[in-house]
């Protein structure tokens, strides 16, 4: 199983590591990455819309020990 991990670094603020809450598990890395990409875009846009300057951001999926 795979879970989404997003890291956002806004100028003047510490980097934030985000996971879905509650955590959703995906059966394949490709399904997870598609969701991670969409969520990453929403988060970055939302932070920029309220005035944060994004220095760095990234998304990935991590394999977990959870099973279906």
pLDDT of residue 68: 58
Q: Provide the whole-model pTM.
A: 0.89
Q: Which helix (H) or strand (E) holds 2?
A: strand 2-10
Question: Quick one: 52 exposed, middle or buried, by C-beta within 10 A (0-12, 13-18, 19+)?
Answer: middle
Cα–Cα distance, 17 to 67 (Å, whole number): 23
Question: Is residue 67 predicted with pLDDT exceeding 70?
Answer: no
> Do 26 and 3 meet the contact criterion of CB atoms below 8 Å apart?
yes
pLDDT of residue 65: 84
Phi, psi (degrees; rounded to nearest 5) at 19: -130, 160
Question: Is residue 17 predicted with pLDDT exceeding 90?
Answer: yes
């Amino acid at each position: 199983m795979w879970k989404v991990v997003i890291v956002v670094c806004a100028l003047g603020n510490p980097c934030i590591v985000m996971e879905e809450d509650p955590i959703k598990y995906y059966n394949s890395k490709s399904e997870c990455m598609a969701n991670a990409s969409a969520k990453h875009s929403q988060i970055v846009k939302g932070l920029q819309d309220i005035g944060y300057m994004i220095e760095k951001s990234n998304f990935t999926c991590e394999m977990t020990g959870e099973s279906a």
